[in-house]
Amino acid sequence: MKNLNKFFTLVLIGTMIMSNTLKAQDTDDSEPDPTFNFSGTVDTYFRASFTEDPVAPGTSFANLNGFSLGMANFIVSYEGEKSGFVADVVFGPRGSDAVFGSVGNSSEMVNQLYAYYNIAEGVTVTLGNFNTFLGYEVISPAANFNYSTSYMFSYGPFSHTGAKVDFSISDDVSLMVGVFNQTDQTEANYDRYTAFGAQLGLYGQYINLLAGDEYFQLDYTGGFDLSDSFFLGINATTATLAGDTGFAGVALYPQLTASDSFAIGLRGEFFSETDGFGALVSDGDADNFSLTLTGSFTSGNFMFKPELRLDSASSEIFAISPTETSESLASFVMAMIYTF
C-alpha cells in the first residue's frame, strides 16, 4: 500500500509538472502583450566651409554655421494585438526644418502623428501624418549614414497627411497605396489638393510613385549587400511640376563596415533641375554634383560622425564671401548623435 501511495504521489507530481509546462507553452504561443515604447534621438554638430563666408550647401539640415544644434526627437508608440499609434515630436532647428509645412502653432513640432489598425492578416490601414515613403534618406539623423542630406531628399516630400493601406504579401513582397493632402501640409488640406501614392517592394527594392494636381514623381530606392561588410545603396528620382519645371537625380551610397564600432561611407549624387525649379537657381536649368565622405564611430547608443563634403554646381550658387560667388564648395561637419 505504501508503494502504491508513492506511485500515485509521483504520478500526481508528474501530472502537475506537465500541466505547468503545457500552460507555459500555451502562454509562449499566445499573442504578445501590448507594448508601450518611448524612444528618440538627440543630435548636435559643428559645421564649417573652407571659404571666407561659412556658406552651406543648399540642402536641408546640417546647414548652420559653427557649433550648432540639430534636434531633440521624442517618439511615443503603443502596439496592441491589432492596433496602435505613433506620436513623434521634434524640437530644435532640424525639427523646425522638418515640419516647415506646418502653419498652426499647435503642430509646429509634430513630425508624425498617426493611428493604425490591422484589418486582416498582412493588411494594415493607417490614418494621420507620417514621414514620406519616397527616397533613401529620412528625417532622423540616426537612420541616415551621412549626416548632411542629399538634394533629392531635401527637395522631395518630407511627410504626408492622409490614409494608406499596406499589404504584406510575403516576406519579400509588399504593396502600399494611399491618398494624401498636399505634400508637407501637416494639419489639414488647406489647398483642396489631393495626392495619390503607391509603393511596390520587391526583395528589398522599392518603386515609389506620388502623383497629384500638376505633380508627378517616380522614385527608386534600394540597395545590395555585395559582401558581409560592403553595402551599396541606390536612389534615383524624377519629378515634374506644372509645365516643364522639375528635378531629377541619382545617388550611390557605398558603405564599408570595418568593425563593430566603425564604418565609412560615401554618397555620390548628381542632381539636376529644369526651368528654374528653385533648388539651385531661380531661372533656367542647373545641376550639381556632390561627394560626401562620412565616418561613423559607434559606442552603445552613441554615434560620432565626421564628414567631408564637396559640391560642384553648373552655376555660381555658393556665396563664399560678401563679394564673391563660386561654382564649388568644400565643407566639413562633425556630428554627435545619441539614440534611446
| E strand segments, the chain | 35-49, 66-79, 83-91, 110-120, 123-131, 159-168, 173-180, 195-202, 205-212, 215-225, 230-240, 246-257, 262-274, 286-299, 302-313, 328-339
Domains of the chain: 35-339 (2.40.160.10)
- Could you report the per-residue pLDDT of 134-181, keeping only the tens digit for each? 999 999 999 999 999 999 999 889 999 999 999 999 999 999 999 999
- The pTM assigned to this predicted structure is 0.85
Bin 22: left if φ > 0, else alpha if -120 < ψ < 50, else beta: alpha
- Could you report the per-residue pLDDT of 2-36, keeping only the tens digit for each? 443 443 344 334 444 444 444 444 445 566 688 99
CA geometry: angle 52, 56, 62, nearest 5 deg: 130
224: which strand partners? 232
Write down the residue that cell numbers 506620436 correspond to: 87
Specify the pLDDT at position 24.
Answer: 46
Residue 285 has pLDDT above 60, yes or no: yes
Residue 205 has pLDDT above 80, yes or no: yes
Bin 276: left if φ > 0, else alpha if -120 < ψ < 50, else beta: left
Q: Which grid cell sits at 279? A: 533648388
The proportion of the chain whose per-residue pLDDT surpasses 70, expressed as a percent, equals 88
- Could you report the per-residue pLDDT of 219-241, keeping only the tens digit for each? 999 999 999 999 999 999 999 98
Q: How far is CA 284 from CA 125, 275, 319, in A?
A: 42, 5, 19
Interval 51-76 mean pLDDT: 93
Segment holding 63, helix H or strand E: none
Of 201 and 22, the structure prediction assigns the larger pLDDT to: 201
Q: Strand, coil or helix: what is 191?
A: coil
Lowest mean pLDDT among 63-72, 273-282, 309-318: 273-282
pLDDT tier at 48 (50, 70, 90 boundaries)? very high
Lowest mean pLDDT among 25-29, 196-200, 229-233, 254-258: 25-29
Lowest mean pLDDT among 25-39, 118-132, 202-216: 25-39
Of 108 and 3, the structure prediction assigns the larger pLDDT to: 108
Of 32 and 244, the structure prediction assigns the larger pLDDT to: 244
Specify the pLDDT at position 149.
Answer: 97
Specify the pLDDT at position 70.
Answer: 97
Residue 204 has pLDDT above 90, yes or no: yes
pLDDT tier at 107 (50, 70, 90 boundaries)? low
Specify the pLDDT at position 104.
Answer: 60
Specify the pLDDT at position 3.
Answer: 45
